[in-house]
Amino acid sequence: MNQLKPRYTFLSFLMVALAVYLSFKMAMPQETSEEKVPETEFSTVRAFAHVNELAKEPHYVGSKAHAEVRNYIVQELKKLGLQPEIQEGFTLDSWGNISKPKNVLARIKGKSNKEALLVLSHYDSDPHSAIGASDAASGVATILEGIRAFLAKNEQPENDIILLLSDGEELGLNGAELFVNEHPWAKDVGLVLNFEARGSGGPSIMLLETNNGNAKLIKAFKDANPQYPVGNSLAYSIYKMLPNDTDLTVFREDGNIQGFNFAFIDDHYDYHTQNDNVKNLDFNTLSHQGTYLMPLLDYFSKQDLTQMTTSEDLIYFNTPFGFHTYPYAWIFPMFILVVIIFIGIIIYGLKKKIVSVNGMMKGFLPFLATLVVSCVAIILIWMCINWLYPHYAEIQHGFTYNGYTYIYMFAFLSLGIAFYTYHKLGKNNTAANLTIAPLFFWIVIALLAALYLDGASFITIPILFSLLSLVCLIVKKKERPFTIILTLLGIPAVFILVPFIKLFPVGLGLDILVVVGLLITLIIGLLMPIFGLYKRKKWTSYVFFFATLVTFFIAHSTAGFSETRQKPNSLVYTLDADKNTATWSTYDLKLDSWTKNYIKDETNVSNTKEVMDSKYQAGFTYTQKAPVKAIPMPLIETSKDTVYNNLRHIDVKITPQRNVNRMEVFGVGKTLETLQVNGITFDKIPRLRSRRLVSYYVSDNEPLTLSFTVKPNEKPEFIIYEASFDLMTNSLFSIPERSKNMMPRPFVLNDAVLVKKTIRL
């Protein structure tokens, strides 16, 4: 068996390691500061100045800071010489959330009367403790700074440019729905650029929203030539299959308007928490958003946006060397080419006795063993880790503070398993024989992709390069393999596939860490023409096993909570006005020293049937009796209760008698024939979802009005929860501050004072 000398092995190994490093580092800007930037260019420092003003504190719909942020945006737009306007009105989303968003709009007049380019982000933060520096003050700041630089050129665009800083996105895309369905400018929009965030760092990923093909959008994106393009058609295909929830979704679904999303997702543990602050927003990430906006603004402000629709699709992906595309029509020809080359290599190799049937069959053993052992080991170890550190379950994001360390740990473990397995089971085989098995599996995967997930078909590119490497091995059987060429032919697999090792767990949560082992094994398989020649596989595996242990101890040392990575916890006070009783409740799975001030132990399991609306539909876990406080009751008035057209028509108004932020209405939807809330008609009345009919996010303490019809003999009953987010500051309570290693639990109704009241009619 022809093996490389140690110096060749080491050089090849370094080249692969460097390619792995570059596949991440070259995806986005890497500056930590900037020199003086010309007025006509985007400045990250100037953009950060906006973030500092926008993200001083939580600014959810209805809060005082929310109005201050809106006023700041209006004043900044006026400084740019624009004439901003406010659009407001009640909207109802498909999840049953109603609010009164207040959108901020401005328009830059272009030379033509063709379709306009709309630049979009939202300015509200998530209720109630999220600071919102990344989500989405970063998007607002990107737009304010980008438009400033664009206007500084003193060049009138060809197309109108509409700026929409939407409201109520966090509640259910309500501001976008208000604009698309009710604002006259919506009919002028030809394309949308939307800036979002689902974390506080990392590269911004381009995703498309279109009801048609992507070919013209992708071609235009490539022609605009952004400096750091990050995106691929696999994400595009998956995104189309999933229920999407950005403002841009409303434009596509309600207005048939297509566009681009630009969102970063690293450091997902900061998402919707008090850690989504200016300090944690990555400088380079904000720079990356600017590198998208400026070239796209210049390009699309000059293009005929009526020509961006097509039925054709493009495969696309990025590498450190650029943004690459080819037509969907090439998918099956390329697959057939791969199959022909693969079969041809096997036939030629067998004829020349360079590969053998026995050797190829034996090559399946180490590959399958590596695949099975890696995946099973990751699953079992992750189960043990969750058992050892049960507090991880408190982080509802599904990505722990030390999540990246676990990704590294399982990557090292999989690499160690791969090298050791091939040392034990493949040492008497040739690199050519060992390459056949993983290539066979990759070809099967490519076929499945072509049939069921066509956006992933760019995987045929690294397969082709691996086949070329195999050709080199076979042709040069009697000579020492050309190390540099073989390694270079493996680099495309690294550039294209390695980023997914991190992307999948970050985007979908650590519960799919098994994908790390799966991808490592498959990528090693593509690199087998070079790795199969390595002589010291056993010692290489020991290095990776040692790295696994080191990263485990690093993860262990950072497994607890700290002042910068706090434990989320929750406390809610509920006054049952019907029974004149009160309770303390929490959503926490494990009580801590703060919640135990009010809920003494975990034997008092909550039996509350109503589940407040939240991202993950979490319900109360524990509860305990609390003292009854003199909280002002909502005023409930029935203004109409009549029977006509064989239906009972009822109007009820609930008026807060204190400052409230949210109302939840529970009832049996199947008893209702029609339902209106604050003048908005439900096209489809909720029948399930824990009996929740509507969540009303209150602005300006406006009342909630219910207008509905039932059959004459029905006796409708509703349960109203009226919530204020002032438990920590309410004069009726003396709640101690959380310790510095704690923070309010995100995604749930928290630090709230609730009044529960039943309405029987």
Question: Cα(264)–Cα(197) distance, rounded to whole angstroms?
Answer: 5
pLDDT for position 288: 97
d(CA 318, CA 233): 10
Q: Residue 685: pLDDT above 80?
A: no
For 301-411, list the strands marked E by DSSP: 314-319, 322-327
Work out the widest C-alpha separation in the chain, in whole angstroms.
96
State yes or no: pLDDT of 482 exceeds 80: no
CB 759 within 8 A of CB 652: yes
The pLDDT, as a whole number, for residue 761 is: 86
Q: What is the chain's length?
A: 761
- Measured between alpha carbons, how far apart are the two ends of the chain, in Å? 86
Q: Measured between alpha carbons, how far is 552 from 137 in angstroms, rounded to an integer?
A: 35
Calculate the CA 160 to chain-centre distance: 30
Q: How far apart are CA 62 and CA 97, in angstroms?
A: 14
Confidence class for position 94, pLDDT limits 50, 70, 90: confident
Backbone angles phi, psi at 213, to 5 degrees: -80, 165
Element (H, E) at 626: strand 622-626
Please compute the mean of the pLDDT values over residues 328-347 and round it to a whole number.
Answer: 96
- Mind listing the pLDDT tens digit for each residue in 65-86? 999 999 999 999 999 999 999 9
CA–CA distance from 359 to each of 3, 252, 500 (Å)? 17, 54, 31
Whether residue 689 is predicted with pLDDT greater than 60 in this model: the reply is no
Q: Give strand pairing partners of 91.
A: 99
In 57-81, which positions are buried (b, 16+ CB within 10 angstroms) versus exposed (e)?
Answer: bbbbbbbebbeebbebbbebbeebe
Grade residue 690 by pLDDT with cuts at 50, 70 and 90. Answer: low
Q: Note the pLDDT tens digit of each residue in 497-555.
A: 999 999 999 988 999 999 999 999 999 999 999 998 888 899 999 999 999 999 999 99
Q: What is the pLDDT of residues 25-48, one digit of tens each?
A: 999 998 877 878 899 999 999 999
Q: How far apart are CA 221 and CA 296, in angstroms?
A: 7
Residue 163 has pLDDT above 90, yes or no: yes
Alpha carbon distances (Å) from 367 to 339, 435, 439, 714: 20, 9, 10, 66
- Edge-to-edge order in the sheet of strand 116-122: 85-88, 102-108, 161-166, 116-122, 189-197, 259-266, 201-209
Q: What is the pLDDT of residue 81?
A: 96
Positive or negative torsion for Cα 327, 331, 336, 341: positive
> Is the bond into 288 cis (omega within 30 degrees of 0)?
no
pLDDT at 268: 92
pLDDT tens digit sequence for 348-370: 999 988 899 999 999 999 999 99
Instruction: Assess whether pLDDT exceeds 80 at residue 174.
Output: yes
Q: Look over the chain and give the mean of its residue pLDDT values, rounded to a whole number.
A: 93
Residue 387 CB neighbour total at 10 angstroms? 9
CA distance 447 to 440: 11
Average pLDDT value for residue range 618-642: 93
Percent of the chain with pLDDT over 90: 83
Angle between helices 357-388 and 514-526 (to 10 degrees): 160
pLDDT at 1 over 60: no
Residue 558 has pLDDT above 90, yes or no: yes
Q: Please tell me the predicted confidence (pLDDT) of residue 117.
A: 98
Average pLDDT over residues 615-630: 90
Domains of the chain with bracketed CATH: 6-25+356-557 (no CATH), 44-319 (3.40.630.10), 564-761 (no CATH)
- Coil/strand/helix, residue 258: coil
Phi and psi for 254 in degrees, rounded to 5? -95, -25
Burial state string for 360-382 with b = 16 or more CB within 10 A and e = fewer than 16: bebbbbbbbbbbebbbebbeebb
Helix, strand, or coil here: 650? strand
Binning pLDDT at 50, 70 and 90, where does residue 479 land?
Answer: very low
Q: Which residue has the higher pLDDT, 389 or 605?
A: 389
| pLDDT exceeds cutoff 80 at 240 | no
712 has a pLDDT exceeding 80: yes
CB 198 within 8 A of CB 267: no
Cβ neighbours of residue 463 closer than 8 Å, sequence gap 6 or more = 338, 439, 442, 443, 446, 526
Distance CA 246, CA 207 (A): 11
Q: What is the mean pLDDT of residues 326-354?
A: 95
Is the pLDDT at 671 greater than 70, yes or no? yes
pLDDT of 586 above 60: yes
